[in-house]
Each structure stands twice: as structure tokens, then as C-alpha cells.
Amino acid sequence: MISDVTGNASENNQRGFYTRWRQLMGARNWAELDVP
């Protein structure tokens, strides 16, 4: 996702980072993860 943040600070990217962190920490192996 690309957000225009010209003049609008955002933490979209940090939330994306922790989304993946949560996915990997919760999965027992790669097979349990969706690889887009």
C-alpha cells in the first residue's frame, strides 16, 4: 500500500512491520503463512 503523507505524518509503515512480526511469531512454519 502506498499512502500520500505529504504534510500528513503517519505510522502506516510501522504498523505494517508489526503486522508481519505478529504473523511470523504466531506461525509454526512457513506453510502456515500466506506468501502473497
Partner 1 sequence: MGDVTGGRLGSLVDVEHGIVSREIFVSDEIYRQELERIFARAWLFLGHESQIPHLGDYVVSSMGEESVILCRDRAGQIHVFLNSCRHRGMKVCRYDEGNTLEFTCPYHGWSYGTDGALVGVPFARDAYGGELERARWGLIEVPRLESYKGTIWATWDPAAPAFFDYLGGYRLYLDLLLDAWDGREGGTEVIGGTHKWLMPCNWKFPAENFSGDRYHGVSHRSVDMVGLGPSGKGRRDTQERTESRWLDVSFPDLGHSMIAFLRPHDAPIAPAYQDAPAVAEYFRQCEEERRRRRGAEWRLFGGPGTVFPNASPLARQPRTLAVWHPRGPHQTEAWRWYLVDADAPTEVKDFLRQYYIRYSGPSGLTEQDDMENWNYAHAASRGTIARQYPYNYEMGLGRATRASRTTGSRCQE
Angstrom distance (rounded) from CA 23 to CA 33: 7
Angstrom distance (rounded) from CA 30 to CA 21: 13
Q: How far is the CB of 20 from partner 1 (least distance, A)?
A: 3
Q: How far is the CB of 33 from partner 1 (least distance, A)?
A: 9
The phi and psi torsions of 26 (rounded to 5 degrees) equal -90, -10
What does the binding site for partner 1 look like in residue numbers (CB under 8 A)? 1-27, 29-31, 34-36
Q: How far is the CB of 32 from partner 1 (least distance, A)?
A: 11
